[in-house]
Amino acid sequence: MTAPYEPTHTPREEHLARKAAEPDVDPCDIALEAMPGYVIGDMAAADQAWIDSHAEQCNYCKNELQWFERIDDLLEHLGDASAGADIPTAPRLRVHKKVARYGSMPSPLGDLLIAVSDDGICEISFGRSGTDKFLALLDRRGFEAVADQQAIESASAQLREYFSGRRHVFDLQVDLTGVTPFTKAVLTATSEVPFGRLLTYRDIARSIGKPNATRAVGNALGRNPVPVIVPCHRVVRSDNSLGGYTGGLDIKERLLSIEGATLPVV
C-alpha cells in the first residue's frame, strides 16, 4: 500500500484507570470526558483499553461511546462528499488534476473496470454497475479519467492469475488519493488479511484501535475503491453471516469460494 495510516501524533497517556480508581471520582465522568479523544484517535492504548472495559460494564457509557462513534462516522461521510470537488480555475491558477488511466478486463465475476494513476491502482468497479458510475467515482476523487487499455496491463495480468488460483498476494501499489484517514486505516488493516482467511468487522475495528467502531468499519469497507486488491471480501460479520458487499453478495461468495474460505470464522 502506498498510503499507510499513521497516527498524526503520539497519543499522550492519561492514566485513566488510575484516575478512575480515586475514591472521590465517578469513573463514568472520567470515561465521558475522554470520549472525544477516543473517537478522534488521540488516545494511548492503555487508556483505550480502560474505556473499553468500563463500557463493557456500564451500559450508559457504552451507549454514549457508540453515539460518539456515530458522530465520527457522519463526519467521515462529510469528508468523502467533498473529496473530489472541482477546483475552480482562475486565470493565474492552473489546475492539474491527477490522471487516472482506465480500461476493462473480463473476469469470472463479469467485466472489471480498472483505473491506474502514476501512484498505483486507484479504482476497480464491477462492470455490472456501469462505466458512468465508474467515471463518476473517479471524478469525485479528483481524478481526470483517460481511456488507456495498456496502462492496466500489469494489474489485469495479476488479477487473471488471482482468478485462476495461481496468485495469492498482489504485488501492486495502491493509490488512495481522496480517501479519508479513517477509511484509509480500515483499508490498510484489511489489506493485511491473508488469502483464504476471514476476519470480522469487529476484528478490524480492534486492529485499528477503535473496538466500538464496528459499524463505521463496515461503512468504510463499503467505500473500498479497490475491491479484490484490498480484500474487503475477507471481512464478515461476527455472527458468521457474510455482511455486505458493494458489488453484490454473490460476488463476495464467489471470491471466497475462489480462495476456499468458509464460514464460520475461526
Partner 1 sequence: MTDSATLMSFDTLVDMHQREIYRYALHLTRNQADADDLYQDTFLKAYKAFDRLDASANYRAWLYRIATNTFLSAKRKANRERPLDVAADGELAAVQEDQPASLDARDLLVEVERFIQTLPEKQRVALVLRKYQEFDYRQIGEVLKCSDEAARANVYEALRKLRACFGDRV
Active site residues: 232
> Residue 14 Cβ, how far from partner 1 at the closest point, in Å?
12
Please pick, from the candidates 59, 92, 132, 171, the single residue that binds partner 1 as defined by CB under 8 A.
Answer: 92
**Residue 180 binds to partner 1 (criterion: CB under 8 A):** yes
Alpha helix ranges (H) inside 115-223: 131-140, 153-163, 181-190, 201-207, 214-222
**Residue 88 binds to partner 1 (criterion: CB under 8 A):** yes
Find out whether 115 and 161 touch, Cβ atoms under 8 Å.
no
> Residue 29 Cβ, how far from partner 1 at the closest point, in Å?
13
Cell numbers found for residue 59: 451500559
| DSSP states along 95-107 | --PEEEEEEEE--
Find out whether 225 and 137 touch, Cβ atoms under 8 Å.
yes
Q: In terms of CB distance, is 180 or 207 closer to partner 1?
A: 180
> Which range of residues in 21-29, 32-40, 54-62, 193-201 is near partner 1 by CB under 8 A?
32-40
Please pick, from the candidates 4, 36, 194, 264, the single residue that binds partner 1 as defined by CB under 8 A.
Answer: 36
**Residue 181 binds to partner 1 (criterion: CB under 8 A):** yes
What is the x/- site pattern for partner 1, positions 58-87, by CB under 8 A?
Answer: ------x--xx-xxx-xx-xxx-xxx-x-x
**Residue 9 binds to partner 1 (criterion: CB under 8 A):** yes
Contacts of 144 (CB under 8 A, 6+ apart): 97, 98, 99, 100
Instruction: Say if strands 199-200 and 235-236 run parallel, antiparallel, or are unpaired.
Output: parallel
d(C-alpha 218, C-alpha 77), whole Å: 13
Find out whether 147 and 177 touch, Cβ atoms under 8 Å.
no
Q: In terms of CB distance, is 12 or 128 closer to partner 1?
A: 12
Interacting residues toward partner 1 by CB under 8 A: 8-9, 35-37, 39-40, 42, 64, 67-68, 70-72, 74-75, 77-79, 81-83, 85, 87-88, 90, 92-96, 142, 180-181
